[in-house]
Amino acid sequence: MSAPISAGPPLDLRELEQDKQRSAQLAALAKGSRDVYEKCALLAQVTFCSKPLMNVLCFVYLQVSGIVTQRNAGRLALEFLPVILEFQIDPYPEVKGEVVKFLDELTDVVGTVSSEELLNALLLVLPTLGNLIQSNQPAVIKQVVIAFNSIYRRSLKALVEPPTLWTPTHANVLNLLNVCKRQVFEHLYSPNEGVRNSVLKFLEALVIAFTFPSTDHHPPSHDERKQFFHVSMVPADHPAFNVVALKGEADDFLHRLMVELTSTRLSATSMSVVTSSFGVIGHQRVHYLSVVVPTLQRLTKVPPVHVPPIQLNRVNYILRSVLMGLVKFRFAAQYYDTLVDALTSLGCGNEAVLARRESEKKAK
């Protein structure tokens, strides 16, 4: 496949229009073809990409992976992947965004075939994400972070699944994952709110993935375990992963969320995102309530002075919802006094007392 027109020398408008029409015709033929290999051959000739055309390319790939046997789907995915990767250098953020979406879909589809196929695909996918996250286009960076949130956890699952024989491919993928993860974390202080919030949600997901639930209240669901990594999947003798080390990482990630919540860097929207994350973590990882509850209480006692009053109302609305949810959570019973005190500071002490009584009544 020749490079996209945006990566080569400039074309005159007539040649550009001809190239665009020809590529659209090829994509349409591929979409209508019933032969898997013909689809790939036609798409390999596409030289112009736009957002609608990228949608067609992704649609055809899903057709390809859906009409072949599972055994062949992974191999075809790897054959088809270079067709998409060439569009990562397109100047339009919409096209780059579609490339990112495709990579997310691809790791999902190939991951259902075999861990080996997924690892082979990741050797191409991860460097591409590493390139795209260095874009100067915030919309592209945000999509990379959102996609990497899923891709990272799928990839870790592939790395710990049996057989646990550690190969150079495993080591290369883990190294690429760590490089991408560091690149994602560098955007925690991005001036773009959407990018920053996506990184915050990634931190939340890792806290959950790297720790065990303290009770049977919220173990990973079957669907979560089927698709994503969880620390319970790590064998005791795994050559590269250690449960204690992962728990230490989760502690660090939670601390970073706590620091962000109490800093003056975050906007009202980002504060709301972190506050919601604390609510999720408190419900799903009860042992972290000793951090979650005091942090949220402190926020009610020392409101962020850098947030305008109107926007602070939005933060407090989320904060009230999270605190009230914890009052109604029976595993948070030892923190009821603190939670009621925090809610009283927000002007809803009576509702908190009633919710506490109801929770204690149900617990009996």
User: In the predicted model, is pLDDT for residue 77 greater than 80?
Assistant: no
- The pLDDT value given to residue 30: 73
- Is residue 111 classed exposed, middle or buried when 0-12, 13-18 and 19+ CB atoms within 10 A define those classes? buried
* Nearest-5° Cα angle at 110, 109 to 116: 160
Q: How far is CA 35 from CA 68, 80, 228, 273, in A?
A: 10, 14, 32, 47
User: In the predicted model, is pLDDT for residue 3 greater than 50?
Assistant: no
Categorize the per-residue pLDDT at 362 as very low, low, confident or very high, splitting at 50, 70 and 90.
Answer: confident
206-255 tens-digit pLDDT: 999 999 987 655 556 555 556 889 999 999 889 999 999 999 999 999 99
Indicate the range of 7-11, 224-228, 257-261 predicted with least confidence. 7-11
For residues 184 and 202, the answer to whether their CB atoms sit within 8 Å is yes
Rounded CA separation 188/315 (Å): 20
114-146 tens-digit pLDDT: 777 788 889 999 999 999 999 999 999 999 999
Categorize the per-residue pLDDT at 69 as very low, low, confident or very high, splitting at 50, 70 and 90.
Answer: very low
Select the more confidently predicted residue: 194 or 364: 194
| Domains with residue ranges and CATH for the chain | 1-187 (1.25.10)
User: In the predicted model, is pLDDT for residue 111 greater than 60?
Assistant: yes
Q: How far is CA 82 from the centre of its chain?
A: 23
Per-residue pLDDT, averaged over 296-310, amounts to 90
141-173 tens-digit pLDDT: 999 999 999 999 999 999 998 766 889 999 999
Task: Give me the chain's average pLDDT, please.
Answer: 83
- The pLDDT value given to residue 5: 34
- Peptide bond connecting 168 to the previous residue in cis, omega within 30 degrees of 0: no
Tell me which range, 18-27, 263-272, 318-327, is most confidently predicted by mean pLDDT.
318-327
Kindly report the pTM of this predicted structure.
0.82
Count the neighbouring beta carbons within 10 Å of the beta carbon of residue 318: 18
- The pLDDT value given to residue 183: 97
- The pLDDT value given to residue 157: 92
For residues 175 and 181, the answer to whether their CB atoms sit within 8 Å is no
Percentage of the chain exceeding pLDDT 90: 51
Residues 6+ apart with CB under 8 A from 259: none
Indicate the range of 11-20, 49-58, 199-208, 305-314 predicted with least confidence. 49-58
Closest by alpha carbon to 197, among 274, 134, 90?
A: 274
177-187 tens-digit pLDDT: 999 999 999 99
Percentage of the chain exceeding pLDDT 70: 78
In the chain, the largest separation of any two C-alpha atoms, in whole Å, equals 78
Question: What's the CA dihedral at 199, 204, 205, 206 to 10 degrees?
Answer: 90
- The pLDDT value given to residue 97: 83
